[in-house]
Homo-oligomer: A and B are copies of this chain.
Amino acid sequence: MIVRGDRNEVGKLIDGFNGINQIGVIGWGSQGPAQARNLRDSLKDTGINVKVGLRHGSSSMEKARAVGFTEESGTLGEMYDVIHESDLVILLISDAAQVRHYREIFGAMKPKAVLGLSHGFLLGYLESISEKFPENISVVGVCPKGMGPSVRRLYEQDSGINCSFAVEQDIDGDATDIAIAWAVAIGAPYIFQTTLRDEYRSDIFGERGVLLGAVHGIVEALYRHFVSRRDVTVCDAFRMSAENITGPISSAISKEGILGLYNSLQIHEQAIFDIAYVTAYNPSKALLQEIYDEVASGNEIRSVVMAGDRLKEFPLGTIDATYMWGVAGRDVRESREKTGEPPIEPLTAGVYAATMMAQVDVLKARGHSWSEICNESIIEAIDSLNPYMHARGVAYMVDNCSTTARLGARKWAPRFDYAVMQQILVRYENVRAESNSLILRFKNHDVHRALATCQEMRPPIDIAVA
C-alpha cells in the first residue's frame, strides 16, 4: 500500500488524528527537532498540542526553547510527564537510550495511548530478549527515508521526504489512520507500508551494507589498488575510487538508474564493468547474506547493546585521519573546481553496481517490498548519503552518523575491503590477464597472415549464390 500525502488537507489530518489531543515528541537528536516543528506547523489551529519532552537539565532544553517550544506555552516539559500526558508518544531518543529506559517509558504511558517510533530498533531489541510491547497500547512506526535536517528542510521547501509506515499493534482500530496522519503531517509526499520488523531489518542491514559499511570498505580497497599502479597519483586514485562513487556514479544512477549507468559507458568500458561486476557479485552477496542473518538473528542488535557498555572505557576513535581521507581526499575536494568531475571508472562502477544489486537481491529473497528495497539499497544511497559523503568524505560521514550505524560501518567495512582485496581484485586481475593474453593471441594468431594470403589468391568477393 502506497499513500499519496498532502499535508495541506488539514481537515483530513484531524480526522486521522481522531482522539489525539496531544502529541508528545520525546528527544531532540536528529529527528526530534525536525518532526516536532513539522508537526507543529502542520497542526496549527487544529487544537492538537505538539509538546516536546526532554530530561530535566538536558542541554537540548535551550535548543527547543530557541525554536519556540516553551514551558509557559505548554509545549515543553519533562520527558516522563510528557509521555504520561500524551495520546501519541513519538519516541525519538537514541537507540541506546530506548534500550536503557523502555520499561519506564512503557510504564509512564496512558492505557490506549499510541507509541510512535521512527525506526524498528526497539522492536528488534525486544525480540532479541524475547520481550514484547505492553498489550494496552497501540504501536506504530513512521520512518522518514532521510536524516532529520532533510526532513525539516524539504518540508520548508514544500516538497517533503518519503516515509514508510507500519502498524505493529492496533488496540482500537485507529492505529493505521494515526500513522498515516503522522506521516502526512511531517510532510511525506509518498507513504509506503511495511512492518516494523521489516523496517529494522532492512534499515540496520542497509547501513551495514551499501549505505555505509560496504561503500567505505569498497573505496578503501579500490583506492589502494589504484595507488599500487605506478601510473596513478594518490589524488587520481582517490578520484577513481571514492570520488567516483560519490560523484559521477551516483549522479548517473540518480538520473538514469543502474542500467543507465551501464549504458552510459563506452563499449570497451562496459567490458571492464562486466568483469568487475561478475567477480564482485558473489563475494558481496555472501557478505550481505551474512549481515542479514546477523541482523535477523538478533546478534547485531545484541552487539550494539554490548558495545554501548564498552564505549565508556574505549570511546570510538575517528577513522578519517589516514592518508587517504586526511590528505588525498581533502586535496581532491579542494581541487574540484579546477579539475572538474572525473570520468566514470568502469572497475569501480562494476564493483559498486554488483554490491547494490546483490543487496537488492538479498532483500527481495527475504520478502521485503520493492519500495523498501529501492529506498534502503539505492535511493537513500544515491540521493541522500553519497552526496553528503561527496561534500565531506566517506570517513567523515561514518564518523558522524548514529552510534548504531557507526558501529555497523566499523564492523563491516573492513570485511568488504578484504572481500575486494582477497576475492574480487585477485579474480578480476586474473580474468583481465587471461583475456589480455587471449586477445594478444588473437591479434598475433598465424591465421590472420594465412587468411591474408588466401585472400590474395581467392576469387573476387560478392560471388552470386544461386
CB within 8 Å of B: which residues of A?
224, 228, 282-283, 285-286, 289-290, 293-294, 297, 299, 302-303, 306-307, 310, 313-314, 317-319, 321-323, 410-411, 413-415, 417-418, 421-423, 425-426
B residues within 8 A CB of A423? 317
- Is the pair A418, B422 in contact by a Cβ cutoff of 8 Å? no
Q: A317-B423, A322-B422, A418-B319 are in contact. Are A297 and B286 (CB under 8 A)?
A: no
Report how many copies the assembly holds: 2
- Is the pair B293, A306 in contact by a Cβ cutoff of 8 Å? yes
User: A224 to B322, alpha carbons, bound, how many Å?
Assistant: 13
User: A67 to B228, alpha carbons, bound, how many Å?
Assistant: 51
A307, A319, A422, A423 interface centre (most CB from chain B within 10 Å): A422
* Shortest distance from the beta carbon of A271 to any chain B beta carbon, whole Å: 23
Considering the complex, give the chain B residue whose CB is closest to the CB of A315: B286
- Is the pair A314, B289 in contact by a Cβ cutoff of 8 Å? yes
User: A307 to B290, alpha carbons, bound, how many Å?
Assistant: 7
- Is the pair A294, B314 in contact by a Cβ cutoff of 8 Å? no
- Is the pair A289, B303 in contact by a Cβ cutoff of 8 Å? no
Q: A290-B307, A303-B299, A307-B290 are in contact. Are A317 and B283 (CB under 8 A)?
A: yes
User: A425 to B317, alpha carbons, bound, how many Å?
Assistant: 13
Contact among B314, B322, B415, B417 for A426, CB-based, below 8 A: B322
* Shortest distance from the beta carbon of A398 to any chain B beta carbon, whole Å: 10
- Is the pair A290, B317 in contact by a Cβ cutoff of 8 Å? no
User: A299 to B283, alpha carbons, bound, how many Å?
Assistant: 23
B residues within 8 A CB of A425? 322
B residues within 8 A CB of A426? 321-322
Contact among B290, B310, B318, B413 for A290, CB-based, below 8 A: B310
* Shortest distance from the beta carbon of A32 to any chain B beta carbon, whole Å: 30
B residues within 8 A CB of A421? 322
Contacts A224-B224, A411-B415, A414-B415 supplied; 19 other A-B pairs, CB < 8 Å:
A282-B314, A283-B317, A286-B310, A286-B314, A289-B310, A289-B313, A290-B306, A293-B306, A293-B310, A294-B306, A299-B299, A317-B422, A318-B422, A319-B418, A321-B422, A322-B421, A414-B417, A414-B418, A417-B418
User: A318 to B228, alpha carbons, bound, how many Å?
Assistant: 22
User: A306 to B295, alpha carbons, bound, how many Å?
Assistant: 12
Q: Give the top 3 A-B pairs by smallest Cβ distance, nearest first.
A: A414-B414, A286-B314, A321-B426
* Shortest distance from the beta carbon of A422 to any chain B beta carbon, whole Å: 5
B residues within 8 A CB of A289? 310, 313-314
B residues within 8 A CB of A228? 323
Q: A314-B286, A414-B415, A414-B417 are in contact. Are A303 and B307 (CB under 8 A)?
A: no
Considering the complex, give the chain B residue whose CB is closest to the CB of A326: B426
User: A267 to B370, alpha carbons, bound, how many Å?
Assistant: 64
A-B contact pairs, 25 of them (CB 8 A): A224-B224, A282-B314, A285-B314, A286-B310, A286-B313, A290-B307, A294-B303, A294-B306, A297-B302, A297-B306, A299-B299, A299-B302, A299-B303, A317-B423, A319-B422, A321-B422, A322-B422, A322-B426, A410-B418, A411-B415, A413-B418, A414-B414, A414-B415, A414-B418, A417-B417
* Shortest distance from the beta carbon of A457 to any chain B beta carbon, whole Å: 49
User: A104 to B88, alpha carbons, bound, how many Å?
Assistant: 53
* Shortest distance from the beta carbon of A360 to any chain B beta carbon, whole Å: 17
B residues within 8 A CB of A314? 282, 285-286, 289
User: A418 to B414, alpha carbons, bound, how many Å?
Assistant: 7
User: A313 to B228, alpha carbons, bound, how many Å?
Assistant: 33
* Shortest distance from the beta carbon of A416 to any chain B beta carbon, whole Å: 9
A297, A322, A414, A423 interface centre (most CB from chain B within 10 Å): A414
* Shortest distance from the beta carbon of A433 to any chain B beta carbon, whole Å: 13
* Shortest distance from the beta carbon of A180 to any chain B beta carbon, whole Å: 37
User: A417 to B319, alpha carbons, bound, how many Å?
Assistant: 12
B residues within 8 A CB of A302? 297, 299
User: A317 to B422, alpha carbons, bound, how many Å?
Assistant: 8
